[in-house]
Structure formats: C-alpha cells, structure tokens
Amino acid sequence: MTHGTSKLHAFCLTLYCTVPGTVRPVDYNVSWPLVVIFPPPVLGTVQSHKPHFIAVHCQEVGGKNYEASMSHVDCFVKELLSSDAMKEYSRARVYLDENYKSQEHFTALGSCYFLHESLKNIHQFDFKAKKFKKVVGKEIYSDTLESTPMLEKEKFPQDYFPEVRTISHAFDLVNIHLFHDASNILAREKSPSVYSGMRQKALGFVLDRITDQRFEKVPYFVFGDFNFRLDTRQVIESLCSTATMQTVRVGDTNEVEKLIFRESENDREVVLQLEKKLFNYINQDVFRENNGTLFLQFDSELSCFKERLHELEISFPPSYPYSEDSSQGKQYMDTRCPAWCDRVLMSATAKDLVLKPENEEKYLVYDNIGPNVCMGDHKVTSQA
C-alpha cells in the first residue's frame, strides 16, 4: 500500500474483534436473532475509537442451531453495513461460511473487514494469482468460499486468512476456532488436560501453515475462539483446597458421572459439583473479582507458543461461558469453568507494528465489549 499516513497511525487506529456465536437466538423461547441487540455495544466501540480499519472474526455463524438460524446472518450483515456507525467505511470484504449442507467443508466462520474512506490504495492478496489487488467497493462472499481466490480456508483447524498490504508492509489476519472441552470430568483427570494437547497440536498446525514457504513471511494476527481453558485440575485444587471429594459412578459401566466437593466443616456444604457439562461452584463472583486476575496463573495453554505468539495484558474477566438469558448479561452459566477463550494474538513483528516503543501499550485497549449485555455464551473481545 502506498498510503500517506504513518505506519503507527494506520495500525493504532485498527480494531480487531473476535465475535463467537454471532447471530444466535437470545434464548430458546424466542425466534428473533441476537442481531437485534448485538450491534450497539460493538458499533459503540467503533464510534468511540473511530478506527481506520476494522477486522471482525466470527465463530459459530448462525449459532449452534445453524440450520434454523442461518437465515438471520444476511440480515445481520446488511444491518451492519447500513448502520450510521459504518457509513464512513467505503470498502468492505465479508466472507461467511453459510453452506452447512457441505459438512466436509463447513467451518461456520465469518470474517469481515472494513476500510475507512480516508485510507487510500489498500490492496488485498490474491492467493491464486499470488499478487496484490486493489480493494474497491463492498463485496460479500458466502456460497463460493472454496473458489474465492482472496482467502484460504481450512476445515482443520478452521481458518481464513486474507492478507492485506499497508504501506510497505503486508500482514495476515487469521480467523480461528479450536476444539472445546467435551467433558469437565475428563478435563480434570490430568494437568494439563487431554483437550489442551489437542488445541496445542491444532494451533501449531495453523502457525506452521501461515509461516511456510508458499508465500513471503509477513506479520500475522490470529484472533477468534481459541477455546483456551484454565487448567481444570489446578483450579479445582485451588477452589476446593479444604474440601473432600465424593465420586458418583454409573452403575452399569462404573464410569464417573459426577464429583461432589464438600467442606470438611460448615455442615459439609457443597462447594463444587462437577459433571460432564456442569461446573457448579458455590461463588462464581470469584471469577469476576478484580477481573478474574487471580485465575490467570491457571491460563497456561499459550505458554508453549511464547516465542511465536504475543498478547497484550489481559485486564478483563473470562470471556466464557456467559448466560444466554437476555436479562443476565453479566452472569456465567454453570456449564464450564470460566476461561479466556476469545483472544487477539500476534506475531512479534505484528506487535511491533501496533505498539509505539516509547509508550508500549498505553494507546491500545484490549478488552471485552458489552460487559453488561447478553451476546450469547461468549463476550466479544477487541483490541483497538
């Protein structure tokens, strides 16, 4: 890109946003989509920061029941593009994987990029032609992602990464959705859990893919739902250090069905009940106090990538699993241990692009959007 403003100016006014569970119903008793209440907090962030470039990565496009909810996605995109907050963004590229009938290729990922009218000569990489092409107008792609040359899509481990050139720099934007913890019981069995190892392998695959020899190596940003979880075993040992554990098994198979942790005193009060999809702790406020920083010591899945991935300091509460009840925007569900699943990560060279050396992170904001608003079971995470 041959842009007249400075490198730091162009990057420091960039909003990176990960939006898991976009356009899902607010609850199961109503049919109207989350789009009705989703835009205001996100668009409010756009209006307050006034970024020149916006990158929005969505996971679970259409929600968990995507067969019934996918029809709302187009409405969501149209409302977003036509909103007052977005009227100064003259160019847009939207990539939505809506073809759920093709399970072999379906990822349920969506990637949306918006360019302010003040930015000139923006180019996007064409992976087939292996050259940059100027970005003009607004384009939406949904049914033809496999044949779209402007992105690369992988079913495993699921990523899009359009490439955009800015000044003399190009950078990759990678949308990612990694594996979840299928069972709390299994996640507790050892430290780190078997699920952590699966995510580590998948993320390593992604990083190897975007830094291989096919294309010139460039700075990269990876943001989405990493499904990073706290070390379940260590968290439980910390929360239940004075409790005794009762194991309940299924009669026929002797499989562990639930674990009940009771105080040794206080009338044997139940502190924590753990099942496959239940994490019912007596006081979930501990995960919100001081933005949950007490539990960052158990957030270790990124540690093995510390030479390849960097992150700004986390100063917001765990982003998952929030209640999907529209009246309980700040409440966690008791399905999983709260964790920072939704992150914005970057290579060392990408971090150099967005940070002023003399001020470090002073002008960057890494936070959740809409802390009091229900947006599904994940909170929107942004870096601006």
* Mean pLDDT computed over 125-129: 88
**pLDDT tens column, 51-62:** 888 888 888 877
Using only C-alpha atoms, what is the Rg of the chain? 21
For position 47, what pLDDT does the model report? 79
pLDDT at 157 over 80: no
Measured torsion, CA atoms of residues 163, 166, 168, 174, in degrees rounded to the nearest 10: -30
- Integer Cα distance of 356 and 362 in angstroms: 9
To the nearest 5 percent, what fractions of the chain are helix, strand and coil? 25, 30, 45
In this structure, are residues 301 and 229 in contact, taking their beta carbons and an 8 Å threshold? yes
- Integer Cα distance of 204 and 208 in angstroms: 6
What residue ranges define each of the domains in the chain, with the CATH number in brackets? 7-230+284-323+336-383 (3.60.10.10)
In this structure, are residues 67 and 112 in contact, taking their beta carbons and an 8 Å threshold? no
* Mean pLDDT computed over 222-251: 95
pLDDT at 22 over 60: no
Pair of tokens at residue 8 = 């730091």
**pLDDT tens column, 133-142:** 999 999 988 8
Quickly count helices (H) and strands (E) in the chain. 8, 19
For position 167, what pLDDT does the model report? 40
The identity of residue 146, as a single letter, is E
Question: Which of 317, 297, 312 minimizes the C-alpha distance to 361?
Answer: 312
Alpha carbon separation from 175 to 71, 77, 113, 178, 306 (Å, rounded)? 22, 17, 12, 10, 19
